[in-house]
Amino acid sequence: MAKILLVEDDQNLSSLIQNVLEAEGYLVMTANSGKMALEWVDNSKPDLVILDIGLPDISGIEVCKKIKGSNVSRRIPTIILTATMDNQTKMQANLDAHADLFLNKPIANKDLISAIKILLEKASADNTLRRTLFRRNKTL
């Protein structure tokens, strides 16, 4: 069961997304601030992070930068949810934050689930490849 950290300060939206993800079998941890999100990432090592861009203390972009800037957490797939960014701003934010995916709010539940599945499958394949290469190099 994959652990997903959902970082959203709108309690209604957070509850809605949490219910959708739990119905799909995911274990969902929630945070309503950037600071809390970074603590969860450090302590719980989620398999995927979904970040709202407009958090009350630290922007989702800054949280993503910190996640992707750490050797410990940089491989955690990260989705940024936004309702306010134009394409130019998204491109610049992606260059700065290295998010795996930007999605516009509101998003259809099936599209969010599909994106999560794709990112988790890719992360799993990458981890398998890294382990295989590590073992191969270790035996050489």
Q: Are 31 and 57 in contact (CB under 8 A)?
A: no
Buried b (16+ CB within 10 A) or exposed e, 56-66: eebbbbbbbbb
Distances (CA, A) of 47 to 37, 44, 73, 83, 107: 13, 9, 10, 24, 21
Beta strand 27-31 pairing with 3-7: parallel
Does the pTM of the predicted model rise above 0.95? no
Query: How far, in whole angstroms, is CA 86 from its chain's centroid?
Result: 20
CB neighbour class for 9 (10 Å; exposed up to 12, middle 13-18, buried from 19)? middle
Length of the chain: 140
Residues of the chain with pLDDT > 70, as a percent, come to 96
Q: Which tokens in the block code for residue 36?
A: 């809390």
Q: Which of 59-63, 64-68, 73-77, 92-96 has the lowest mean pLDDT?
A: 92-96
Does residue 69 surpass a pLDDT of 80? yes
- Set out the domains of the chain in order of their start, with CATH numbers: 3-139 (3.40.50.2300)
Classified as helix, coil or strand, 132 is: helix
CA 139 to chain centre: 34
Give Cα 9 distance to the centre of its chain: 15
Give yes or no for residue 140 having a pLDDT over 70. Answer: no
